[in-house]
Chains A and B, each alone.
Chain A
């Protein structure tokens, strides 16, 4: 198990390096001059040149990347050009709300997706199955921003049931729960579809397996069979899928946070890019990539727990 994890961690190092390089190069393409931003609109050209030199912007791109990399390795992500606070502090502020949103989305979407998928598999070919499939297809094919806007329009605006501008407070307070409901609902709705479909496929495979037939022959109730014997095996591919979908979840979070003014990393990244706040944008991109890797690592470990064969081969 430990070997397995160590291997996985080692494999994510080149990925992270790639992300750092990619984020760095992307921001090189933005037609803005960080020095001009730092200097402000009324600065003289001499001052801008001076600041360019201070920031090391007058050196070759790869030298700049080298300096940046050395700083990141020391845990220094630089200082936001706009608010003059360290990027680490800004990100620290934003990670909490994003984690909150992820949790609030997964906590209902995953169980519901699995439940729907299982129901569809058990009632294969009947109306209920068709309904679940229809829901999943709709969920998979509707873009997040559209769902967000529709929910905001009706639940938030027409019926005035839930707030939709930002965070209300911690999750355990009523205000906090009310404020997170719409964003979590939006993000979760996109997530249910793929989980339900995958669960259905996996459960169908397991339902026709030998050990399930044995269980039924022992006289177990259908319910016990599904809960005890089918789900554990069916969950293996589902867990993998959740890991793969985490990327979409993070991407969806960027959109969801922007729509609902949710103060998370996604919104921070968008705001930083729009304001040409390079260090902050790079930091936010890095955090999103790290989250992606960490989620995948967790999934790998879960996978090993669920399926003992992985360790032997992996």
Chain B
């Protein structure tokens, strides 16, 4: 018996010594990316989570691609394109050397099928509006696609770079039925579907024939990594430790508290980008009692100290936001004056508006206490944020009541009219992208959860969408930005930066920001040692 024990412990100790170098190395040409959440499925037109998009970008291609500057449109599957003078017809010339992972050649028919499935009401795509008001999409020959609109849509090319607009294979979609994007997926991307174990890992294999990548990459051929493993590790400190010990070689999901450690570590580097467009905000339902008073909203925006939040909660790694979109984004309006933190002024505004502080320190008007309910997501991010906001609002006599829900039910809860405020974060590529999502009257009750129904806004947005040149578009969107900003419909919190932790074993690569997916197509990922 003792004998057995000593063998077992000996074996275990030996193993520990043995596995040391091997564990730190990882297998030769397999790249492990740790992330926090999985997607419920990988159907490009039905999954809107970043967790789906970041994998889909690697498995499939779009007609056009977006450069690292987040504003230049570059070729993709389409080598060139023309727009008719009335802005209603886009003609795409496709490459003739593109094939799917299963070896089948890709033609214009596949593009037409993919786009039509996207806008088909039966698909129930939550991002259908991103395709514009489509009249028809036709293949005029095997490598030409005409995309016809009923009205000009200035955003179209940007929208066509998103993961929702990737080219899929009809035969594959029909063969898999409800299992499409769950059991398999046939795309033309640099990596192919390997195996998905929900909430555990997603394996992608290199697509050897690939040579039609976007020109934004140094690498013009097939991917240089044999296999990519997207691994789910929910605990943020474990993700940090996994990167520090080389078990994961690249990830954008490390906690802000760990960034200084990564910078100080010789085996790691931090790849970041200026054009990170992902913003956190709290929105007001502008027709609910209390927060329907613009003075109250303005005072609340003034009371929250974004700078303190950025420093105390995020170690100074995020940019405090005083505007609804990043000032680096396309069509940003320089005429918008930020509402800066000023508690004294906020108190003055409320006094002037007739909100009187009671014995408990909270304000009331006409016997109604100022005590709005805010809905948000559970999890460390929003929990800490809401606590900070609640504390700041107490300074001006607002009693914020916080209710957080798990992501699986939060979306449903936020589609109701039960709350006064809500917490949200979102990716965008331009002013139009953000404004057309949240501010059209038609988009209430969700995603326009503010119930912002303003004919002038609708008119301006439509002007922006149908603009035939950049100046008109920028002017129209700039007007809307100014309008909603002055009405204090949102309380902006911070702009999330794009910071990717990467092993020094990887060759240099650039961080992208499309839909918050830092690795985009991953074509420049390569081990140099």
User: Which of B1, B27, B238 is the one whose CB lies under 8 Å from A118?
Assistant: B1
Q: Is the CB of B233 within 8 A of A160?
A: no
Select from chain A the residue with minimum beta-carbon distance to B181. A84
Q: Is the CB of A83 within 8 A of B242?
A: no
Q: Say yes or no for B41: interface residue by CB 8 A criterion.
A: yes
Q: Is the CB of B242 within 8 A of A165?
A: yes
User: Which of B8, B20, B179, B201 is the one whose CB lies under 8 Å from A166?
Assistant: B201
Q: Say yes or no for B83: interface residue by CB 8 A criterion.
A: no
Q: Is the CB of B126 within 8 A of A42?
A: yes
Interface residues of B in 175-234 (CB under 8 A from A): 178-179, 182-183, 197-201, 231-234
Q: Is the CB of B182 within 8 A of A85?
A: yes
> What residues of chain A lie closer than 8 Å to B24, measured between beta carbons?
160
> What residues of chain A lie closer than 8 Å to B32, measured between beta carbons?
165
Q: Say yes or no for B347: interface residue by CB 8 A criterion.
A: no
Q: How many residue-residue contacts, CB under 8 A, span A and B?
A: 145
Q: Say yes or no for B4: interface residue by CB 8 A criterion.
A: yes
Q: Which of A12-20, A30-38, A132-140, A290-298 faces chain B?
A: A30-38
Nearest-neighbour CB distance to chain A for B255, whole angstroms, equals 14
Complex-state Cα separation, A209 to B290, whole angstroms: 82
Complex-state Cα separation, A194 to B412, whole angstroms: 47
Q: Say yes or no for A93: interface residue by CB 8 A criterion.
A: yes
Q: Which of A152, A162, A185, A274 is packed against the most chain B CB atoms within 10 Å?
A: A162
Complex-state Cα separation, A31 to B1, whole angstroms: 52
Q: Is the CB of B8 within 8 A of A181?
A: no
Nearest-neighbour CB distance to chain A for B377, whole angstroms, equals 12
Q: Is the CB of A274 within 8 A of B406?
A: yes
Q: Is the CB of B41 within 8 A of A83?
A: yes
Q: Is the CB of B247 within 8 A of A163?
A: yes
Complex-state Cα separation, A36 to B247, whole angstroms: 37
Complex-state Cα separation, A31 to B27, whole angstroms: 43
Q: Is the CB of A152 within 8 A of B412?
A: no
User: Which of B5, B199, B200, B238 is the one whose CB lies under 8 Å from A275?
Assistant: B199
Contact A41 to B411, CB < 8 A, known contacts A115-B2, A156-B245: yes
Q: Say yes or no for B72: interface residue by CB 8 A criterion.
A: no
User: Which of A42, A85, A152, A163 is the one whose CB lies under 8 Å from B23?
Assistant: A163
Nearest-neighbour CB distance to chain B for A273, whole angstroms, equals 10
User: Which of A31, A159, A164 is the one whose CB lies under 8 Å from B238?
Assistant: A164
Q: Say yes or no for A10: interface residue by CB 8 A criterion.
A: no
Interface residues of B in 9-48 (CB under 8 A from A): 9, 12, 15-20, 22-24, 27, 32, 34, 40-41, 46
Q: Is the CB of B20 within 8 A of A160?
A: yes
Q: Is the CB of B197 within 8 A of A268?
A: no
Q: Is the CB of A156 within 8 A of B241?
A: yes
Interface residues of A in 159-181 (CB under 8 A from B): 159-166, 174-175, 177-178, 181
Interface size on B, residues (CB 8 A): 53
Nearest-neighbour CB distance to chain B for A226, whole angstroms, equals 9
Contact A111 to B232, CB < 8 A, known contacts A32-B406, A42-B446, A156-B241: no
User: Which of B18, B124, B248 is the one whose CB lies under 8 Å from A165?
Assistant: B248
Q: Is the CB of A36 within 8 A of B20?
A: no
Per-residue 0/1 for B405-421: is the Cβ within 8 Å of any A Cβ (1 yes, 0 no)?
Answer: 01011011001000000
Q: Is the CB of B19 within 8 A of A36?
A: no
Q: Is the CB of A261 within 8 A of B233?
A: yes
Complex-state Cα separation, A278 to B198, whole angstroms: 15
Q: Is the CB of A111 within 8 A of B4?
A: yes
Q: Is the CB of A108 within 8 A of B12?
A: yes
Q: Say yes or no for A237: interface residue by CB 8 A criterion.
A: no
Per-residue 0/1 for A37-56: is the Cβ within 8 Å of any B Cβ (1 yes, 0 no)?
Answer: 10011110000100000000
Complex-state Cα separation, A271 to B38, whole angstroms: 11
Interface residues of B in 49-73 (CB under 8 A from A): none
Q: Say yes or no for A63: interface residue by CB 8 A criterion.
A: no
Q: Say yes or no for B427: interface residue by CB 8 A criterion.
A: no
Interface size on A, residues (CB 8 A): 54
Q: Is the CB of B34 within 8 A of A165?
A: yes
Complex-state Cα separation, A312 to B246, whole angstroms: 59
> What residues of chain B lie closer than 8 Å to A108, measured between beta carbons?
5, 8-9, 12
Q: Say yes or no for A82: interface residue by CB 8 A criterion.
A: yes
Q: Say yes or no for A128: interface residue by CB 8 A criterion.
A: no
Complex-state Cα separation, A33 to B411, whole angstroms: 11
Q: Is the CB of B1 within 8 A of A227?
A: yes
> What residues of chain B lie closer than 8 Å to A80, measured between beta carbons?
198
Per-residue 0/1 for A55-91: is the Cβ within 8 Å of any B Cβ (1 yes, 0 no)?
Answer: 0000000000000000000000000101111000010
Q: Say yes or no for A155: interface residue by CB 8 A criterion.
A: yes
Q: Say yes or no for B244: interface residue by CB 8 A criterion.
A: yes
Complex-state Cα separation, A115 to B246, whole angstroms: 37
Nearest-neighbour CB distance to chain A for B38, whole angstroms, equals 9
Complex-state Cα separation, A125 to B332, whole angstroms: 80
Nearest-neighbour CB distance to chain B for A118, whole angstroms, equals 7
Q: Is the CB of A164 within 8 A of B201?
A: no
Q: Is the CB of B409 within 8 A of A165?
A: no
> What residues of chain B lie closer than 8 Å to A33, measured between beta carbons?
409, 412
Q: Which of B12, B32, B246 is packed against the most chain A CB atoms within 10 Å?
A: B12
Complex-state Cα separation, A58 to B458, whole angstroms: 40
Complex-state Cα separation, A90 to B12, whole angstroms: 31
Q: Is the CB of B406 within 8 A of A276?
A: yes
Per-residue 0/1 for B91-133: is the Cβ within 8 Å of any A Cβ (1 yes, 0 no)?
Answer: 0000000000000000000000000000000001010000000
User: Which of A43, A93, A115, A163 is the one whose CB lies under 8 Å from B1?
Assistant: A115
Q: Is the CB of B408 within 8 A of A181?
A: no
Q: Is the CB of B5 within 8 A of A178?
A: no
Give 9 nearest A-B pairs by CB, closest first: A41-B411, A178-B19, A42-B126, A36-B412, A83-B198, A108-B8, A115-B5, A271-B199, A163-B23
Instruction: Write 22 A-B pairs (CB below 8 A) sorted by A numbering.
Output: A32-B406, A37-B408, A37-B409, A40-B411, A41-B126, A48-B412, A80-B198, A82-B40, A83-B182, A84-B179, A85-B183, A108-B12, A115-B2, A156-B245, A159-B20, A162-B23, A165-B247, A174-B19, A231-B1, A261-B200, A267-B199, A276-B408
Which residues of A are interface residues toward B (Cβ below 8 A)?
31-33, 36-37, 40-43, 48, 80, 82-85, 90, 93, 107-108, 111-112, 114-115, 118, 152-153, 155-157, 159-166, 174-175, 177-178, 181, 185, 227, 231, 259, 261, 263, 267-268, 271, 274-276
